Amino acid sequence: MTWTIVVGVKQVPDADEVGIDPDTGRLDRASAPAVLNPPDRDALEAALSIRDEVGGEVFAITMGPPNATSVLEEAVAVGCDDAYLISDRAFAGSDTWPTSLTLARAAEELEADVVVCGEETTDSSTGQVPPGVAAHEGWAQLTYVEDLEPVPEENCLVATRDVEGGHERVAADLPVVVAVAYGEFEPRPAGLHRKIYAENDFEPTTWSAEDLGIEDEVGLDVSPTSVGGMETVQPVERRGEVVDAVEDLLEPLTEVDA
């Protein structure tokens, strides 16, 4: 049996160029071009490598505004079979709870065997979405994954996980949600023909909240968290000093600047 692999990709502001609005203290998303969340390149590679071994299809999904189509084009260019844009004004103000519910319902609709996500995003960086998807569906989850071995004959996925001070091998029955460790899956380049197709002919299927039957379960009102405020801090200037002997360390370490 082949597997259906769904990969979550998110559009984020380019971290090298994004600024903070000095008046509101919030991320000024308009100040930077939107790009594919870098850890999601690893997620795409992990998803495609599972398909290489087991066969099946890889579908990219994103919950975002209509211009998030560009990250789906990138996903199709590197080899995803199809991609879905989940977009609706009803999603405005959603925190990680309704976001993971939305992605979970989309994965269910696609009859996913495996959902692959990045470790975290570079704009909100909570890392809560992949475990949230698993929780909403009651599926197994594998986080901080460095390597994957599909075992189709047993309908399970074996992962090597990065745990403090070592590595752990865990097997999970399908369906399973995987969050891959950033930098562990070297992304493959997009093929030329696929790139031309993605840029010129590809159109994502678009789903609304109503299409997924969750119109009353998303948005600001049902988001349990709220951002109380945001402060920017200046980087601390660090002092360095070379001492001749270990016992000379104590004084500079305990010295308090006036």
Ligand X SMILES: Cc1cc2nc3c(=O)[nH]c(=O)nc-3n(C[C@H](O)[C@H](O)[C@H](O)COP(=O)(O)OP(=O)(O)OC[C@H]3O[C@@H](n4cnc5c(N)ncnc54)[C@H](O)[C@@H]3O)c2cc1C
Select 8 or 79, whichever has its Cβ closest to ligand X: 8
229/235 with CB nearer ligand X: 229
93 binds ligand X (CB under 6 A): yes
Binding ligand X by CB under 6 A: which of 96, 147, 152, 208? Answer: 96
Residue with Cβ nearer ligand X (133 or 172): 133
Nearer to ligand X, 12 or 198 (CB): 12
**Is the omega angle on the peptide bond into residue 13 within 30 degrees of 0, that is, cis?**
no
Work out the burial of residue 132: count CB atoms within 10 Å of its CB; fewer than 13 is exposed, 13-18 middle, 19 or more buried. buried
- Cα 81 versus chain centre, distance: 19
- C-alpha closest to that of 222 among 126, 130, 94: 94
Contacts with 78 (C-beta within 8 Å, 6 or more apart), sequence order: 44, 45, 48, 187, 188, 189, 190, 194
Where helices occur in 62-128 by DSSP H, the ranges are 69-78, 96-109
HSE (side-chain half, CA atoms, 13 Å) at 216: 0
Of 8-16, 48-56, 73-81, 190-198: span binding ligand X (CB under 6 A): 8-16
| Segment interacting with ligand X, rule: CB under 6 A, options 126-134, 142-150, 229-237, 244-252 | 126-134
Of 149-208, binders to ligand X (CB under 6 A) are none
Q: Does 79 bind ligand X (CB under 6 A)?
A: no
Q: Which of 103, 142, 174, 177 binds ligand X (CB under 6 A)?
A: 103
Q: Is 9 in the site for ligand X (CB under 6 A)?
A: yes
Q: Give which of 136, 4, 124 is closest to 64, Cα–Cα.
A: 124
- Answer positive or negative: Cα dihedral of 132, 133, 134, 135: positive
With tokens 């109503």, the residue in question is 210
The 25-64 contact track toward ligand X, x by CB under 6 A, reads ------------x-xx--x-----------------xxxx
State the residues that interact with ligand X by CB under 6 A: 8-10, 37, 39-40, 43, 61-64, 93-96, 99, 103, 117-118, 120-121, 123-130, 220, 225, 227
